[in-house]
Amino acid sequence: MLLEKIKNRLVIVCGHYGAGKTNVAVNLAKAAAAAGRRVCIADLDIVNPYFRTADNREELEAVGVRCIIPQFANTNVDIPSIPAEFQSVFQTDEMCIVDVGGDDGAVALSVYRDGFIECGYDMLYVFNACRPLTSEAEEAVESIRAIEAMSSLTVSGLVNNSNLGAETTSETVNRGLKVCLAAAKAAGKPVLASSVFRNVAGRIEGDVFLMDNATKKLF
């Protein structure tokens, strides 16, 4: 299971736009809470129009997850902001999951580089072969390198989150895993697991992290 492969208390979830980072981050926080861990999740997604942790705040708090949400989350005010409360992730003994929005969102991480290095961290790169600009291994490696350069931090491993929403099949996941493995090899990183919706039938290759689809429903 993905949770068992995480070595540090601080967990950064990053990836290209639309890869499904927030789905992974929310499900990871819920899994940690269910395992009896004290957990907080910090929304560092500075691009307001996209699906973000703030959309799941009530559900997360109901299972005991502390949420750190920017002031302007879920508003029509598109001003990048990081709440002062974010500093608490370096001062607590909670497992803290940081949801980073898109490649450019990694810039916000660089502000806290020293804190992450001092405390220790895992940085998970969420990969989705079904999304534009990461459908090929070379593109994913370019995205990983860009995030590492902008954040001044290092990706620990990849999570294959290849999916087509409700149309996802085991074949979708397995095809994506092949591309993910190629990208991981080229980048010199391990593939930690494939994150898969619970209702996907069929055999999934490799280690699997089962998830509920936490994505906000627009229709």
CATH of the domain at 153: 3.40.50.300
Residue with tokens 């994150």: 195
Check residue 19 and report its DSSP letter.
Answer: S
Q: Is residue 14 part of a domain?
A: yes
* Residue 217 in domain: no
Tokens of 153: 């931090």
Instruction: Decide if 84 is inside a domain.
Output: yes
Q: What residues contact residue 173 under an 8 Å CB cut-off, 6+ apart?
A: 160, 162, 163, 194, 196, 200, 204, 205
Q: Structural domain of residue 182, as residue ranges?
A: 2-211
What would the pLDDT profile of 203-214 be if each residue is shown by its tens digit?
999 999 999 988
What pLDDT score does 11 carry? 98
Percent of the chain with pLDDT over 90: 72
Report pTM.
0.91
- Split into its structural domains, the chain has a count of 1
Residues 6+ apart with CB under 8 A from 4: none
pLDDT of residue 72: 52
In the structure encoding, which two tokens stand for residue 217, read together? 């429903």
pLDDT attached to residue 56: 86
Residue 49, pLDDT above cutoff 50: no
CA distances 58 to 66, 67, 70, 166, 170, Å, are: 10, 9, 15, 24, 31
Average pLDDT, the chain: 89
Q: Is the pLDDT of residue 97 over 70?
A: yes
Mean pLDDT of 116-144: 96
CA angle 62-125-58, nearest 5°? Answer: 15
Position 44 scores a pLDDT of 82
125 forms beta bridges with 14, 158
